[in-house]
A and B are shown apart, each in its own frame.
Chain A
Amino acid sequence: MELLAQTLVNGLVLGAGYAVIAVGLTLIFGIVGIANFAHGAFFAMGGYACYLLTSQGLNYFVAVPLSVLIVVVIGAVTEWIVIRRSLYGDSHHGSLIVTFALGQAAVAGLILIFGPDPLPVTSPLGQTTMRFLGIFVASQRAFIFVCSVLVLGALGLWLRLSIKGQQVVAVAQNARGALYSGIDVPWIRALAFVLGVAAAGLAGALLAPISTIYPTMGYSALIVGFTVVILGGMGSIPGAMLGALLIGVANALFETFVSVSWTPALGWGLVIATLLFRPQGLLGQVQQHRH
């Protein structure tokens, strides 16, 4: 019982981290209309930015927002130079190949700059744990959980209450209609892309102290992100959150009670099962062929 409760809590905390990654991914898919295979690379960039700043003696809590800012700048430049062209070109699979290649190039770049070995990021929360009703949670994980919930909540409110947020929702629902009602669709798409990769960067900076950072760290983030997004329904933000919690808890349970070495395959097993019975995902809308 104790173990089960502990595992469930671990899963929830994991899921909160996954949710940030997946919401970024689903935002880009829903609004820009591309499956961003470079998402993991931006996650890794967030981690490395955080490493750079903390190794300069900056406090971790200051470094996290700054890391996100760095990723925002990189993301904006990427969108401006590459994504815009590959997307508004005349091929639907161009964006897929391009983001995939971008991810590969970024990881290779990170290896060339920082070397292939893992690097530590120190957080003031360190190795301390908090105890609550007999369940232990590492302080850093609790911090990630709180940050994730705050960020996702803020994003939800922004989408619902601000003009820009409503424009984003409009573009997601019907890009052409949005364009006809005077919304600057290319700008909103750029904004969505940058927001999405910023979320990935934030997740990278948050998880850096736990998992140390290494160039291919984004790979597992990308896998988790995609499994979560497909499970929840591509393009659906509540779906991404639900999927993240499900996968987080399922992974934690599976690791504790079944097998650690098979865990990486679990998410895809769930995805296949979902696609068989509910192709649009748990909360997704039935996909029209966009292409």
Chain B
Amino acid sequence: MAKSSSIGIDMAIQDFGTVMDRKQQTGAMAGDKPGRAARETIYVGCAVVAIVAFAVTFTDPFIVTLAGYTCAFALFALSINIILGGVGEVPLGQCLFFGVGAYGAAIGMGKVGLPFELAVLIALVLSVALAAAIGVITLRLTGAYFSIVSWGLTGVAMVAAANLEEITGGPLGLFGFPPIEIGPLQLSDPQTYFAVTATILLLAILFLVALRRSPFGAAMDSVRQNPHLARSVGVDVARVRLKAFMLSAPFAALAGALAVPYTQIVTPEVFSVANTVDGLLMVLLGGAQLVVGPVIGAAMFTLIPQAMNLDPNVRILVFSSIIILIMMFAPGGLHQLGVALRDRLGRKTDDDRSR
């Protein structure tokens, strides 16, 4: 762990233009374990098998559709984690992009009559542009500004969605879409819906793993762990933050669009901060430093209420309390508790310190 932070700096130096011995670096990054590529291929293979197995085993449309929705929401949690686990800011306004994706798909299909893919694509581009605008204004300032203003803008989006009735259907929202399809794939069919969302989620995870290992991933690490030090070795902190934010937006928008086949309606509530809270909780449950952490969190998050059938307010109360407890005792995620138990008096690692 201490090693990884020094690598972050090394990579940052490299970004700055100092040429390092690449072999040494990748060796350090990989932890010097042979057969990593083979192991990872096996992981991906297992994931694919699991997806297929799930889609074949479960035939109850309710469960399969819910699983598909969980995958879409896990994508949203991943988007939150690009910021939270990546550059260490709290993206309270991430539901803004979720809403842009959902509305983009709904308006594109319902009002304009575009095919689903094209509508989603436009929404993704919009979300990146929006992230760029918000980021430029707020990311120069301290983290609190970024969190507050992005959170505030979700409220503005909600007001706008409720008021622009011709476009958004006003407070009642948009519903009654034509059957949603991606090429030959009918998303109205539960099995297909699950397969599509799960596959997209898998691809997103692979992309994020690659991102973490890239120089940009190292730059993000250095910004999160110590912005001052990162700046001193030539990382453009504001720029890395902005890039990360722009990168996270389309993930959230895609999640919003993929949630539409499940919800079948898009109302201004889609901009509700409750969405962000759910996503944040998934990240915190699973652990912000694991790439698949948010996915684990999403699965837990969906399974537990399904099993317990809670009143929504009890749910919020319980989950908010869990968030507080996690932040107090295991800010790195629940797997940290195991580590903490192992060495209760051990020193914290650099990586935990930055959490």
Contacts and interface: CB of A to CB of B under 8 A. Distances in A.
Given A262-B163, A268-B153, A111 B355 contact: no
B172 interface: no
Point out which of B145, B311, B323 has the most chain A C-beta atoms below 10 A from its C-beta.
Answer: B145
A102 B162 CA distance: 28
A86 to B, nearest CB: 6
A290 B144 CA distance: 10
A230 B327 CA distance: 26
Contacts of B167: none
Interface in A100-116: 100-102, 104-105, 107-109, 111-112
Given A104-B316, A262-B159, A96 B152 contact: no
B56 interface: no
Contacts of B147: 35, 93, 96
A271 B352 CA distance: 34
Contacts of B354: 90-91
Contacts of A111: 313
A105 B316 contact: yes
Contact of A90 (B228, B314, B352): B352
Nearest to B329: A85
A90 B163 contact: no
A226 B138 CA distance: 14
Interface in B308-355: 311, 313-314, 316-317, 320-321, 323-324, 327-328, 331, 348, 352-355
Interface string B76-93: 000000001000111010
B188 to A, nearest CB: 34
Point out which of A86, A264, A279 has the most chain B C-beta atoms below 10 A from its C-beta.
Answer: A264
Contacts of A94: 327, 331, 355
Given A89-B331, A290-B142, A291-B142, A265 B160 contact: yes
A108 B314 contact: yes
Interface residues of A, number: 46
Contacts of A289: 142, 227-228
A29 interface: yes
Contacts of A271: 149, 152
A230 B328 contact: no
A268 B156 contact: yes
A105 B143 contact: no
A261 interface: yes
Given A94-B331, A272-B137, A230 B145 contact: yes
Contacts of A107: 316
A86 B152 CA distance: 23
Contacts of A175: none
Point out which of A89, A102, A227, A268 has the most chain B C-beta atoms below 10 A from its C-beta.
Answer: A268
A191 B228 CA distance: 31
B327 to A, nearest CB: 5
A250 interface: no
B226 to A, nearest CB: 10
B327 A97 contact: yes
A189 to B, nearest CB: 16
**Chain A to chain B: the 9 pairs with minimum beta-carbon distance, closest first:** A105-B320, A101-B323, A108-B316, A35-B144, A108-B317, A101-B320, A265-B156, A104-B320, A108-B313
Given A102-B324, A230-B149, 19 more contacts: A34-B144, A82-B324, A86-B327, A94-B355, A96-B147, A97-B284, A101-B320, A101-B324, A105-B321, A108-B320, A223-B155, A226-B152, A261-B159, A262-B163, A264-B156, A265-B159, A271-B152, A275-B141, A291-B143
